[in-house]
Amino acid sequence: MRLCIKLFLLGALCVTIGLPQAQQGVPENAVTRVSDHVYAIIGFPNIAYVVGTRATLVVDTGMGPRNGAIVAREAQRLAKGPALYLTTTHFHPEHAAGESAFPANTILIRPSAQQDEIGRRGTEYIDLFSSRSAQNKELLQGVKLRQADIVFDREATLDLGGVTVRLFWWGAAHTKGDELIFVPEDSVLIPGDIVQNKLVPNMPNEDASVKGWLSLLDQLEPLKPRYVVPDHGALGDGSLIGKERAFLVDVQRRALELKRQGTSVEEAGKLLQSELKAKYPDWENMNPIPNVVRRVYEEAR
Ligand SMILES: [Zn+2]
């Protein structure tokens, strides 16, 4: 939470208040039931569990082994069967860097594109997140991301006993290796960062893609999920897919217009940030907009 105090003649003084632990962590004893076989923890990030009679799948680890241990303990409490699978929606440290806290028999599965990305950018991102705060630095101390036990190309299906899980990789969007998870029996979509609830898509660097993101949303639409468990923000239903798409199409259309008019990418970023703030007042934070605009400009070349 940011608190701003207006001081006479001195402008505004802004300080960050709140509980940094809660912001960077996954709370213990806070599991909520989503559907017959799916559970979630709302934290940073959200964690999802799919529980079958034979095996449990955990989606994402939390930031570093301290959060990973909480996530793994909750998996053991929920489990009905002996086998434990872990998957990561993408390689960013709050999603993947808690893996070492999981028990030795954990079967780690992820798309090969994501595993390649870990080799290419894993350490860079651990260093980047560590540099953002002392707390991150401590949480990520000594973390190395390991090779998955199972890698798949575009799709894998896990039979957990009484419930199946489909894991997809359909190309780059937030990262090169974004994974999407669907539980057909419960009609639950676990889309990582790809479908969120009133949060601007985050496209931090040249590995992200607006066109790729829109194509993922088009492929998700026919699944018509009843429940969506995004990685960040509040849980929702299948209508989130269309809302995400409409927002992104809006940004893309306006950015292309501005590009055609000769507006610089920096100027267009600033302009759209304020335009969209007015158009989508209940969306939380427009700061990621300039990077989305940058991606639109790059893709239009
Ligand atoms: Zn991310």
- Domains defined for the chain, CATH in brackets: 21-238 (3.60.15.10)
Q: Distance from the CA of 278 to the center of ligand 1, in angstroms?
A: 26
Looking at residues 240-249, what average pLDDT do you find?
Answer: 98
Q: Distance from the CA of 74 to the center of ligand 1, in angstroms?
A: 23
Q: Distance from the CA of 261 to the center of ligand 1, in angstroms?
A: 32
Looking at residues 153-168, what average pLDDT do you find?
Answer: 98
Query: Is 21's pLDDT higher than 50?
Result: no
Q: Distance from the CA of 259 to the center of ligand 1, in angstroms?
A: 27
Q: Distance from the CA of 92 to the center of ligand 1, in angstroms?
A: 5
Q: Distance from the CA of 96 to the center of ligand 1, in angstroms?
A: 10
Q: Distance from the CA of 9 to the center of ligand 1, in angstroms?
A: 40
Q: Distance from the CA of 283 to the center of ligand 1, in angstroms?
A: 18
Q: Is the pTM of this model over 0.95?
A: no
Looking at residues 14-22, what average pLDDT do you find?
Answer: 37
Looking at residues 172-187, what average pLDDT do you find?
Answer: 98
Query: Is 193's pLDDT higher than 50?
Result: yes
- Positive or negative torsion for Cα 240, 246, 251, 256: positive
**What is the structure's pLDDT at 183?**
98
CA 164 to each of CA 59, 114, 194, 201, 247: distance values in angstroms, whole numbers, following the listed order: 14, 22, 21, 29, 32
**Cα-to-chain-centroid distance, residue 136:** 17
Looking at residues 144-172, what average pLDDT do you find?
Answer: 97
**What is the structure's pLDDT at 179?**
98
Please answer whether residues 140 and 126 qualify as being in contact, where contact means their C-beta atoms are separated by less than 8 angstroms.
Answer: yes
Task: Name which of 113, 114, 297, 296 is nearest 211 in CA terms.
Answer: 296
Query: Is 22's pLDDT higher than 60?
Result: no
Q: Distance from the CA of 16 to the center of ligand 1, in angstroms?
A: 22
Q: Distance from the CA of 44 to the center of ligand 1, in angstroms?
A: 11
Please answer whether residues 86 and 121 qualify as being in contact, where contact means their C-beta atoms are separated by less than 8 angstroms.
Answer: no
Rounded CA gap, 208 and 153, in Å? 19
Grade residue 60 by pLDDT with cuts at 50, 70 and 90: very high
Query: Is 28's pLDDT higher than 60?
Result: yes
Rounded CA gap, 45 and 47, in Å? 6
**What is the structure's pLDDT at 23?**
55
Q: Distance from the CA of 161 to the center of ligand 1, in angstroms?
A: 30
Q: Distance from the CA of 42 to the center of ligand 1, in angstroms?
A: 16
CA 157 to each of CA 69, 79, 148, 184: distance values in angstroms, whole numbers, following the listed order: 26, 19, 16, 11
Q: Distance from the CA of 230 to the center of ligand 1, in angstroms?
A: 12
CA 175 to each of CA 97, 109, 158, 169, 208: distance values in angstroms, whole numbers, following the listed order: 16, 17, 24, 11, 5
Q: Distance from the CA of 89 to the center of ligand 1, in angstroms?
A: 9
Query: What average pLDDT does the chain have?
Result: 92
What are the tokens at 128?
């980047």
Query: Is 3's pLDDT higher than 70?
Result: no
Grade residue 5 by pLDDT with cuts at 50, 70 and 90: very low
| pLDDT 10s digits, 103-145 | 999 999 999 999 999 999 999 999 999 999 999 999 999 999 9
**What is the structure's pLDDT at 301?**
82
**What is the structure's pLDDT at 15?**
34
Query: Is 173's pLDDT higher than 70?
Result: yes
